Structures are given as C-alpha cells and as structure tokens.
Amino acid sequence: MTTEVETLRRRADFLACARGKRQGTKGMMVQGLDRGDDGPVRVGFTCSKKVGNAVARNRAKRRLREVARLLLPLHGRPGWDYVLIGSRDRTADRPFDELQADLLHALRKLHG
C-alpha cells in the first residue's frame, strides 16, 4: 500500500509534532504525531547547527529526504506527521542501508 506524502512547511506543524512521540536511532531522531484524521502522511526535516556548517546540514537533510521518499509511502500511516532530525557526525556518515533500517525501526516503535 503506497500513500501520498506531503512536506511539513509551517513552524506550528513542527512544534505540534515535537509534542508527540519520539524515537531515537543511531542515525536520526524521529518525532511522530497522530493527527487523528485520514489525511496524507506529512514529513518534515531539520538539522540544527550542531550538525555542522551549511554544507554538512544540507547533506544530512538530503539523505533524510531520500530515506523518507523511499520508505514513508510504504510504511508511514495516513493521518500522521513525522519530523526527521539529523544527528551530528551520524546522519551524513552512516551507510545508507543502515539509515533506512533506522527509520523502519523508529516507525515500528512509534506505531507501537
């Protein structure tokens, strides 16, 4: 089952998701919030300056976007918001297949 995935853009949506569940993995932190509707899966990405300079943050976010593009249509739940947060020295350097496994693990934990 594939579902449509939209991107979070409003700060209020990121803050609401921060009040939901969270699951840390070696490659990222994933925040999840059940909005309680049947709308599309929504995802946002963030990396603080702790991750590094602009080049490092953008590289980490690109990798998070690609992992989400591959996995959330299949494993995300409709009506949920997810925020993927990059980790310093981990998101950009972690092997891509392990990054995918991290997201799958986090989704299983968030959905209980």
What CATH number should be reported for the domain holding residue 106?
3.30.230.10
Cα–Cα nearest to 66, from 94, 89, 39, 88: 94
pLDDT recorded at residue 2: 67
Q: How many CB atoms lie within 10 A of CB 97?
A: 8
pLDDT (average), residues 6-21: 96
pLDDT recorded at residue 1: 60
pLDDT recorded at residue 4: 83
Count of domains in the chain?
1
Rounded CA-CA distance 85/69 in Å is 15
- Band the pLDDT of 89: cuts 50, 70, 90: confident
pLDDT above 80 (res 3): no
How much of the chain exceeds pLDDT 70, in percent? 98
pTM equals 0.94
- Number of helices followed by number of strands (H, E) in the chain: 3, 5
List the domain range (segments joined by +) for residue 73. 5-111
Rounded CA-CA distance 60/29 in Å is 12
